Structure 1
Amino acid sequence: YPDRARMLAISVFGTCCNIITFQSTNGPYNPVDMISGEPGDSNDRTDITILHNGSCEEDTSGSGQGAPVCVQRTIAREIKQLEKLAKGRYGTVYKGEYKTQFVAVKKFHTKEEDSWKREVELYNTQSLAHTNILRFIAADNRDNGIATELWLVTDYHEYGSLFDFLTTHTLTEEMCINMAFSIVSGLHHLHQEIDGLVTKKRTIAHRDIKSKNILVTKDFQCCIADLGSVESELTPSAVAQMSTVGTVRYVAPEFLKLEVQNELFNPFMDLTKADIYSTALVLWELLNRTVGFFGADQDSLPEYQQPYDGMVQSEPTLPDMKVIVVDQRQRPPIPVILSPSSVNRLDVLVGIVTECWTEKPATRLKALRIKKDILPLLTVNDPLQSNR
């Protein structure tokens, strides 16, 4: 039967060609592609995970609807939970032990599933690997018998947040400049758009920059954490949520006006400019705990203060902040006279801060410009010189 054999061979060849065409058109497998349901479909509960050791099980959404998804079933069972580290808007962070290393486990509230999805998807789809952005290890979910816990596993940093560190430590001039440079380097990576042949990344605004969302590493650099509020520029969701995102004390002037005066949001406003304002307040926090900022004597340094302490109540409202920041145009205090031994470098940093917390977003410096301005302040032997 030569004709039948010939026809079978042609059929097999055609099927192979279709498979090759499908693979080249759709690209390699990506776990994020397995998110089921349409955006905004509250009936579909889906799980986004990173595959670990190549093993997974199929599961369906909690509602019984939606396509099966590949769910990691290993890492949550292998992590030994230790003490609680912090509690925030989206969940609670624990110290954990995974095999031979300590990790941080952020457990999201079930109602904050969208934030968990957003953060995991960003780590999976965007090129966020950077020394000054908290390193992502894995994501998982776990049933504790009462509810489903949504886990985000990251590097653990024993010094904790910059807020915690500044509360108990003072800084040398060197430490202050190094920390400032590392923060701005991480922020620049978030804000930077990359459109390479291999690496692609859209511009990302953090939207909740504050000292509690920045961690201190063992070599006294900083890394930016808590990406649950991040947004790319000019998206409809960013417009809709702008009045509810961010920590009140760090909210930029333009958004204080938006909330209190009910002004129409300008959809062309660059969200990254609000990050720059918030970063200026963090840099002020660094300066305020640096020897030389108030004089040469370490004993003259005040206790740690949050931005606008003494100007507003401990838990200020948006109207409170608007009065101080917009109506009165006040900013955290900067001493008139700096130590002669420090005036050169710290004065440059002060100048950067004042250019970044201006009322008009368009006049604020960009992250790349700040990074370039701080770079010459680093010493020649500083390891951060390699992080250009």
Structure 2
Amino acid sequence: MSDLLRTPLFPLYAQYEGVRCIDFGGWELPVQFSGIQKEHEAVRERAGLFDVSHMGEFTVTGEQAEAFLQRMTTNDVTTIVPGQAQYTLMCYPDGGVVDDLLIYKLAEQHYMLVVNASNIDKDWAWLQEHMTPGVNMTNISEQTALLALQGPLAVEILGKVTGTDAASIEPFRFVQDASVCGVSLLLSRTGYTGEDGFELYVSAEQAALVWNGLMEAGADLGLVPAGLGARDTLRFEARLPLYGQELSPTISPLEAGLGMFVKLNAGPFIGHEALLKQKNDGPARKLVGIEVLERGIPRPHYPIYTGDVQIGEVTTGTQSPTLKRNLGLALIDARHAALGTPLEIEIRGKKLKAEVVRTPFHKRTRTSNTPTQGAEQA
């Protein structure tokens, strides 16, 4: 895998005996450090630390920066203030998704976009194609590392290595000049696991210092390094979308159940007309949760039937590590999307009984809002 890209933290992986790396969208990244099940449970019960430095970051500045992003994305950029992040999507004119992303408002007319790793070049080209006067963009992906500290003990661990009052940072808010392990970085209360947690944007040169400092601080609280396998099962249980599976150029935000991030009344954006029509007509397809009632695990692209008619397919599926049930997300004909609807799923040439079930499959038990991030890319 010598031709694959590596994050600034790659040299640290070797210190973990059970680490196993894979090709993930052109990056050599750890699918696990000690085991997906162990890492998943650690994040649900204690805390896990993820290297997600493969994600891309662009800065957008200039007197027309806000207007530009309002035109390019589906959410309402005008509603966020400095120190606030916003989940949103970029769409094609037909309503299909270019990418899902986060927008950080650093100051007036100064933003940072966080995009999916395998979409960095595509997103950059799309934004450049629609660039308007009064807007400047810089790709800072290579010099920016990103760590995600996730789990119910994340606040306590972070409190050992920062003077910033991490507990007071609200979901989707951030501090630009936080000091963590003696390093100045952007500390954001966001994540992609369904648990409480933080994301730390730090210079590539200082990423290892922060990683090692956090691991040391969390050692007595059960903090573990976590890989892409647990990241996927965690986000799946929380019903957070993965680009390329729940979102794609052929799947719209409305079909994926992300209508709350599509502000059709906030002014026209690319894809506005198509999505307005889809909302008025009602999406023909809908993303639902399914449970296989017989012995079998749903996997992406497994076909779903009612009788002899295929009505859709699985987008993500696995045996839930938390619930020990064979669950999936599936994009199906909206006429069959009601809770409790009986379905069949074809697994290895055999049709097994399934039904539509409620999502998310897992919700945090704590009372505060769950910081979530949709952006991720296979």
Task: State the TM-score, normalizing by the size of structure 1.
Answer: 0.24
Higher relative contact order (CA closer than 8 Å, sequence separation 6+): 2
| Higher radius of gyration, 1 or 2 | 1
Structure whose residues are more often helix by fraction: 1
Task: State the TM-score, normalizing by the size of structure 2.
Answer: 0.25
